[in-house]
Amino acid sequence: MKNKQSKLLYKPIRKLGFSDHFCTQCNTMGFKTIDEILKTERADLVLRESFSYHWLEELVSFLQTHNQLHLLQ
């Protein structure tokens, strides 16, 4: 399981099947991997340019689909 988690966390976001819009927003916010997003404080995350709750919803859905939602908490 840890290997699967590592593949998700460190693989480039553009290669994980996210929407183009999500990928563009990540690029604007300076994120290249899910790990970089998860290491960002929530308070700082919502203040970033291009943050939206639609973006967050796509991230949550992705993590939930891969049984990794606990990483966001």
Spell out the per-residue pLDDT of the chain, length 73, in tens.
566 677 889 999 999 999 999 999 999 999 999 999 999 999 999 999 899 999 999 999 999 999 999 998 7
Question: Scanning the structure block, which residue is given the tokens 């290669």?
Answer: 15
Tell me how many domains the chain contains.
Answer: 1
The pTM score is 0.89
Helix and strand counts by DSSP (H, E) for the chain: 5, 0
Residue 47 DSSP SS3: helix
Which pLDDT belongs to residue 2? 64
Domain housing 16: 2-72
